[in-house]
Structure 1
Amino acid sequence: MPVFRYRWSSRPGPLTVEDYRERARRAVPDMVWAYVDYGAESMTTLNANRAAFDRYMLKSKVLTGREAKDLGTTIAGQDISAPILLAPTGAAGLSHWTGELGAAQGAEAAGTLSIVSTAASYSFEEIAAGTRRGHFFQLYPWADTTTGRHDLTHAMMKRAANAGYTGMFVTVDVPTHGNRESEQKRGMGNPPVLTPARVLNAGLRPKWWAAFLRHERMSLRNLVDPGEKAGGAKTAMKTLNRQFRMMRPELNWDDFAWMRENWHGPLYIKGVLDAADAVRAVELGADGIVVSNHGGRQLDCAPAAIDALPAIAAGVGDRAEVLVDGGIRRGTDIIKALCLGADGVCIGRPYLYGLAAGGPDGARHVVEILKTEMRRAMTLMGVAELAELDESWLIPAGAPVPVVDR
């Protein structure tokens, strides 16, 4: 199986996640950009994910003599350099030919881990062979109508366990595909629609086009049948269509309980916005909750993830780890999430921007940018340790600063 090692660059790069976003926009065709950056319907939830962070300001205490240095923490039993994981994002090979393998290598280089998508453009086995640590894997509990209810799910779980993945993240907010109109308008429907204008648009990115044709990383490698060539547009269409047919609106809590019984490692449930759902998941054995609205790509008008976080953290934070994703673009966003009860965050679009603009080194650098921003902000706040962060460090935007009576 193909394995590569990336040669890291020491050259200075972009300074912010937004800088990488601007470079990524220029690096990929419009169809791919719609897939990476847009959301469902009117993109109300996608925009709310960002806007919600702006409702909080950070308290600052001076002359504390304290500096934030170590951001290290433990998630799902694994030590990482900062409370940042790479979220599962399917078909990352569209952003850059190194795809999920390059992203996982970038995560390792930054001292953290990746959650590998079932819909990855590299197989579980390829990514495991090309990395040094035991990463996590994300499970879409899809159905296979030709076999039993859990046969395909069980097979995926066994493959991941055999490949050395240490934790499983079950995504539960995709009983059907979100209505991503912006993608469809640009040709990223099911199946994708190529027109002369769209082919020309891709041709204007010759570096991307050459890599796409050479490496053929559009297919979802974990869904390719044994013995089937995992490459080419025809196979890509087959696997994408297979994915849509296997979505499961009938999935219920009994299925989740079955997964808990059959997965012998840390188990997280991803896509929870309701505190009662989080409590039920923990009662069924979940080790962690990922508060998420799928980056605004599923139910439009769902609440911002950061708004759903406090109630969930209050309900299960003493019994399970709580992560959050959606809208994170700055180190200060991560600090706010931790103050509101999160144990860590997952980033999706930010590392895809880095990957599209700079390959694995770009993905690594995005994580490093966020870590640097966190250390700087915590030092300016007068906070030295992650454990000190709680809601007392937040001030509602626009609220008057409290006056201390003398």
Structure 2
Amino acid sequence: MAARKDPAAPAPVAAGIESVETGPAMPRRLGRCLNLDDLRRLARRRMPRALFDYIDGGAEDLVTLTDNRRAFDGYRLVPKMLRDVGRVETARTVLNTRSRLPLMLSPTAMSRLFHCQGERAVARAAGRAGLPYTLSTLSTVSIEDIGAIPGPKWFQLYVYKDRDLVQGLVERARAAGFSALVVTADAHIAGNRELDLRNGLTVPPRIGPGLVWQGLRHPAWSWDFVTSAPITTANVAGGGPTLGGRAGSLSLLSYLNQQLDETLDWGAIAWLRRFWDGPILVKGIMDPADVARARAHGCAGVVVSNHGGRQLDSAPSALQMLPEIRAEAGQDMAVLIDGGVRRGTDVLKAVALGADAVMVGRPYLYGLGAGGEAGVDRALAILGAEIVRDLQLMGVADVAQLGLDDLRPAPAVG
């Protein structure tokens, strides 16, 4: 077994991990970021306000967005003493996809808005860290380009009104080596994201006085924007008469509204089964009754998620619903959770409550916005180091051993 590596390396030391590829050189400003909030602040300084708000914001009064984070504060971890934690096992396997950590990268749309490297940077960093990456339908780099980057990958799917377009996306994902479909079920209409509306966010950003002023205040982002290839929805720009060539002239919300299907129901899963024989997970599950429906339609797993607080405001936090959904799913379905994770301790709490693994989106986007590929490396390294250290501090040698006995409710305040 190799000697213990520096905990700031892109992947933490765990049983069975011998070496990690080297990524791009780490700028000093990223090295000074000790946690994800440091990366968030750095991204905020580098990016135009409208784009940072798109990453950071949510729907309406931000009730659900805030609750996603606060839910983790409702639990405390119980450490066990005099346990051998010289080696810790952090790897999990979900639907035959191995991850070096109980961590997977969520789908996030339009990543080249935040840095010119976009999804390429995220996929390369995820591959080096040994973490699965789920590519968004609305990515700014194509399915084929991301599929060629080493590492495990899933594909996130919006089931649009144009079903020929959807089938084409699925067939392209299969050909490119994506091993599972993650069907987003909670975005059949666009949420009321008032920050984006106030900021007039467009895809790509519309050149006007506001953007010029923001560009002067954020020269690094502006240089990336003007010297890089045009930002497009790479997977759907030529997809059909509704989408072809027009996405760039519309606001993001208007564009999504054109193809989102208010009539979407469980029949869409049966339809997908006609031409996709791999695992299907449904993302956006918050009601335990929907787990039974997912099982009845042949889904291999669910993602407990409220879309990061970006759709229905006043929905429960994802963590609040996790135990009920795990109980309904039993052990024959994969259960992932997405929403509110900012620390390694959050990951361990979610696993203890029944998650097979945790998905994160904003954390790696903060890294991307702060410093491109090296920033994503830094975000994943921070989370990885925290997970290993926190397991050792808890006296837990294998993340699979976590359970309800490792948690206690936080004391009531006031």
TM-score, length of structure 1 as denominator length: 0.90
The alpha carbon displacement at 1:324 in A equals 0.3
In 2, the alpha carbon distance for the partners of 1:128 and 1:64 equals: 42
Q: Paired residue for 1:140?
A: 158
For residues 340 and 6 of structure 1, the distance between their equivalents in structure 2, rounded to whole angstroms, comes to 34
CA distance in 1, matches of 2:307, 2:58: 9
Partner of 1:335: 348
Distance change >3 Å, CA 231–CA 198, structure 1 → 2: farther
Over 4 Å off, 4+ runs: 189-195, 238-242
> Which residue of structure 1 lines up, in the alignment, with residue 223 of structure 2?
210
Judging changes above 3 Å, is the alpha-carbon distance between structure 1 residues 239 and 371 closer, same or farther for their aligned structure 2 residues? Answer: same
Q: Say which SS state the counterpart of residue 273 (structure 2) adopts.
A: helix
Tell me the equivalent position of 1:373.
Answer: 386
Counterpart amino acid of 1:138?
A: Q
> Residue 111 in 1 paired to residue 165 in 2?
no
Q: Give the Cα separation in 1 of the matches to 2:105 and 2:224.
A: 23
Count of residue pairs the alignment pairs up:
388
Q: Does 1:8 align with 2:21?
A: no
Q: Any idea what SS the aligned residue of 1:286 has?
A: coil
Paired position in structure 2 for 1:404 = none
Equivalent runs, 1:62-211 vs 2, <5 Å: 62-67=81-86, 69-129=88-148, 131-144=149-162, 150-188=163-201, 195-211=208-224
1:187/1:65 Cα in 2 relative to 1: closer, same or farther (>3 Å)? same
Shift of 1:170: 0.4
2:360 is aligned to 347
SS at match of 1:248: coil
**Aligned-partner residue type, residue 130 of structure 2:** G
Is residue 236 from structure 1 mapped to residue 254 from structure 2 by the alignment? no
Tell me if structure 2 keeps the 8 A contact 1:68–1:383: no
Give 1:161-310 correspondences, 5 Å limit.
Answer: 161-188=174-201, 195-225=208-238, 236-237=248-249, 240=252, 241-310=254-323
Per-residue CA shift, 1:122-167, capped at 9, x if unaligned? 11012123x01341110011112xxxxx322111101111111111
Please give the alpha-carbon distance, in whole angstroms, between the structure 1 residues aligned to 2:344 and 2:50. Answer: 29
Query: Is 1:315 matched with 2:334?
Result: no
Task: Give the superposition deviation at 1:101.
Answer: 1.4
Greater Cα shift, 215-224 or 173-182: 215-224
Report the AA paired with residue 250 of structure 1: T
**Counterpart-to-counterpart distance in 2, 1:386 and 1:217:** 43
Distance in 1 separating the partners of 2:343 and 2:32: 17
Q: 2:203 touches 2:248 (CA, 8 Å); kept in 1? A: no
Taking the aligned partners of 1:272 and 1:103, their CA distance within structure 2 comes to 25
For the 8 Å contact 1:31–1:186, the answer to whether it is kept is: yes
Contact 2:201 2:251 (C-alpha < 8 Å) held by counterparts: no
Task: Describe the superposition over 1:42-88 as per-residue Cα deviations: whole angstroms up to 9, x where unpaired.
Answer: 01100000000000000011122334522111122122210111100
**In the alignment, which residue of structure 2 is the partner of 1:23?**
42
SS of the residue 1:54 aligns to: helix
Q: Distance in 1 between matches of 2:322 and 2:234?
A: 33
1:32 aligns with 2:51: yes
- The corresponding residue for 1:147 is none
- 1:217-236: CA deviation from partner (whole Å, max 9, x where unpaired): 532111111799x999x752
Change (3 A) 1:317 1:362: farther
**Structure 1, unpaired ranges of 5+:** 145-149, 401-406
The answer to whether the Cα contact below 8 Å between 2:130 and 2:151 also exists between their aligned partners in 1 is no
Amino acid across the alignment from 1:315: E
Greater alpha carbon shift after TM alignment, 290-299 vs 156-165: 156-165
Q: Deviations over 1:4-47 (max 9, x none)?
A: x9951155341111110010001100010111100000011000
* Cα displacement string for residues 331-377 of structure 1 (whole angstroms, at most 9, x for unaligned residues): 00000000000000110000000011111121122112111111111
Give the Cα–Cα distance (whole angstroms) in 2 for the partners of residues 227 and 252 of structure 1.
Answer: 23
Is the contact between residue 94 and residue 217 of structure 1 (CA under 8 Å) also seen in structure 2? Answer: no
Percent identity over the alignment is 39
SS in 2 for 1:97: coil
Normalization by structure 2: what TM-score?
A: 0.88
CA drift of 1:208 comes to 0.7
Unmatched 5+ stretches in structure 2: 1-20
SS at match of 1:221: coil
Structure 1 residues 127 and 6: CA distance shift in structure 2, 3 A = farther
Amino acid corresponding to residue 347 of structure 1 in structure 2: V
Measure the CA separation in 2 of the matches of 1:204 and 1:70.
45
Q: Distance in 2 between matches of 1:28 and 1:184?
A: 18
Larger CA deviation: 361-370 vs 384-393: 361-370
